[in-house]
């Protein structure tokens, strides 16, 4: 089927007019109609006739010189505002909200000719790691529908894994792209803070939020990234891209030493995950890379720094949703969101801000320095994404502390503002996906993509499809 192919292969077929954008859109809707009732990956699906009309216009204008994303169907995490398509952020507080402007990333993809099919499910406001904390029905994992797809970008990962779309755009505050990529056997890139404009993304924690692409493979991620990066006058934190050609750079080999940070392999890591990640290290070593153990001692405080920062900032960001300026009644907020607002407000309250939030920011600076010190020994870091394989539905939402610990290995990377790539690394004996995480120096996304591409040339975990699909898919 067409949506099982790589973006570059689809682009070639469109360019040669072997297939059409209409063909791709029809396949996307056929998959959604057949499969989404089982995994609930979408909150909003655009009217098919409207999208077909958009695809027909794209086919008429196709002169074979377009962006490689031209005519290709994709989806957005429902945290990106758009003028003509509702944005809910998975909360009834924003049910049927239409924005007065479009997110920059959405504008760029539209200009590139990509066709947006709909908006994906997530944990409301990004508050969670399982796509269970949503007012639109919990998401399910295509590999085992009794388990979570990860979160908060669980909807996008499940849609890609099920081949409903060719790619999706997620958002990562503390692991929300990498966590579901890891659990759904897809690839996801959390970019360096500032690499891609956040304008038009509903904020969770403003100093941690990162936009990023999600797709089937690293090569696909590189193609999408080239369209998304760049300075945006509407986002003062966005950076100028230094003319990287991420696709051509995939074939370069700028990494020599891979670091294994021992703090990521300690107590709490599931033995099945540990075994798979250490096997990945051996495969890289066999391919000619040197493996070195490194240490980041402050990682033991990393999750605390992350949550003190994120909860404090979300309590401030959520203040605008008061039922007067934006949204419906705050009574519609979920228990998880209320919990995070209360904890964050406490951390910022008089008498505690210095002891909690400000101290966390000082520790944040020290953690960044420790990561930089580790990169004096190695070029990239290799580690797990989450402590364990996908949990059963209900396990995390009924245990808030366990839910918080899903971000144990990912949240601190956002604290440091570093890029991180999550890609498939293997399966447990009961066929549950396990991913690996590659972490790089700030603004060195090209190096992570190169290393991910090397691994996906050596192995074929990323091309495996979930049992939800049949042979024809």
Q: Which of 96, 13, 10, 109 is nearest to 54 (CA)?
A: 109
3-state secondary structure of 350: coil
Asked if 282 is an active-site residue, the reply is no
Asked if 176 is an active-site residue, the reply is yes
Total-model pTM: 0.97
Alpha-carbon dihedral sign for residues 313, 123, 410, 391:
positive
Q: How far apart are CA 392 and CA 399, in angstroms?
A: 12
Structure tokens at 268: 């709490």
* DSSP-H helix ranges across 267-334: 271-286, 302-317
Structure tokens at 420: 């991180």
Structure tokens at 290: 């040197």
Cβ pair 214, 169 in contact under 8 A: yes
Domains of the chain (ranges; CATH) run 2-463 (3.90.1300.10)
Radius of gyration over every alpha carbon of the chain, rounded to an integer in angstroms: 21
Alpha-carbon dihedral sign for residues 345, 348, 351, 354:
positive
Residue 65's pLDDT is 66
Asked if 77 is an active-site residue, the reply is yes
DSSP state of 263: G
Residue 80's pLDDT is 98
The owner of tokens 């949550």 is 307
Residue 405's pLDDT is 87
Cβ pair 262, 274 in contact under 8 A: no
Q: 41, 91, 99, 152: which one is catalytic?
A: 152
Alpha-carbon dihedral sign for residues 408, 414, 420, 422:
positive
Tens-digit pLDDT string for the chain (473 aa): 899 999 999 999 999 999 999 999 999 999 999 999 999 999 999 999 999 999 999 999 887 667 999 999 999 999 999 999 999 999 999 999 999 999 999 999 999 999 999 999 999 999 999 999 999 999 999 999 999 999 999 999 999 999 999 999 999 999 999 999 999 999 999 999 999 999 999 999 999 999 999 999 999 999 999 999 999 999 999 998 776 799 999 999 999 999 999 999 999 999 999 999 999 999 999 999 999 999 999 999 999 999 999 999 999 999 999 888 888 999 999 999 999 999 999 999 988 999 999 999 999 999 999 999 999 999 999 999 999 999 999 999 888 888 888 999 999 999 999 999 999 999 999 999 999 999 999 999 999 999 999 999 999 999 999 999 987 88
Q: 176, 181, 192, 210: which one is catalytic?
A: 176
Residue 324's pLDDT is 87
Q: 41, 75, 77, 441: which one is catalytic?
A: 77
């Amino acid at each position: 089927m067409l949506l099982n192919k790589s973006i570059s292969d689809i682009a070639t077929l469109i360019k040669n007019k072997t297939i059409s954008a209409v063909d791709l859109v029809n396949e996307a809707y056929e998959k959604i109609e057949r499969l989404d009732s089982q995994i609930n990956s979408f909150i909003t699906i655009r009217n098919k006739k409207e999208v077909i009309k958009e695809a027909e216009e794209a086919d008429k204008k196709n002169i074979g010189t377009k962006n490689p994303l031209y005519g290709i169907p994709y989806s957005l995490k429902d945290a990106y505002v758009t003028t003509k398509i509702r944005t809910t952020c998975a909360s009834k507080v924003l049910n049927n909200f239409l924005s007065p402007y479009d997110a920059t990333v959405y504008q760029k993809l539209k200009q590139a000719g990509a066709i947006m099919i709909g908006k994906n499910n997530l944990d409301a406001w990004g508050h969670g790691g399982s796509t269970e904390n949503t007012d639109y029905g919990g998401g399910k994992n295509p590999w085992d529908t009794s388990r979570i797809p990860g979160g908060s970008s669980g909807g996008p990962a499940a849609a890609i894994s099920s081949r409903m779309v060719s790619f999706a755009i997620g958002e990562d505050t503390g692991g929300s792209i990498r966590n579901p990529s890891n659990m759904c056997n897809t690839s996801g890139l959390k970019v360096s803070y500032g690499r891609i404009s956040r304008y038009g993304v509903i904020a969770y924690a403003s100093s941690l939020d990162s936009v990023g692409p999600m797709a089937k493979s690293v090569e696909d991620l590189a193609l999408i990234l080239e369209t998304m990066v760049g300075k945006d006058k509407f986002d003062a934190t966005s950076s100028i891209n230094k003319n990287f050609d991420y696709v051509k750079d995939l074939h370069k080999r700028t990494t020599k030493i891979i670091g294994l940070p021992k703090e990521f392999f300690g107590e709490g890591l599931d033995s099945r995950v540990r075994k798979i990640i250490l096997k990945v290290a051996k495969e890289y070593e066999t391919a000619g890379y040197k493996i070195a153990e490194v240490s980041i001692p402050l990682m033991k405080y990393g999750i605390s720094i992350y949550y003190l920062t994120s909860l404090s900032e979300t309590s401030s960001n959520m203040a605008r949703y008061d039922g007067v300026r934006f949204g419906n009644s705050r009574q519609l907020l979920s228990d998880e969101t209320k919990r995070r607002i209360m904890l964050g407000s406490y951390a910022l309250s008089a008498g505690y801000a210095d002891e909690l939030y400000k101290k966390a920011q000082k520790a944040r600076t020290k953690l960044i320095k420790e990561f930089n010190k580790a990169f004096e020994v190695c070029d990239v870091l290799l580690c797990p994404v989450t402590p364990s394989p996908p949990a059963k539905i209900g396990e995390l939402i009924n245990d808030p502390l366990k839910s918080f610990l899903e971000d144990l290995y990912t949240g601190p990377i956002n604290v440091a503002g570093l890029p991180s790539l999550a890609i498939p690394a293997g399966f447990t004996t009961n066929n549950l996906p396990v991913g690996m995480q590659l972490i790089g120096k700030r603004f060195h996304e090209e190096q992570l993509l190169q290393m991910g591409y090397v691994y996906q040339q050596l192995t074929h975990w990323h091309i495996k499809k979930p049992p939800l699909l049949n042979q024809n898919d």
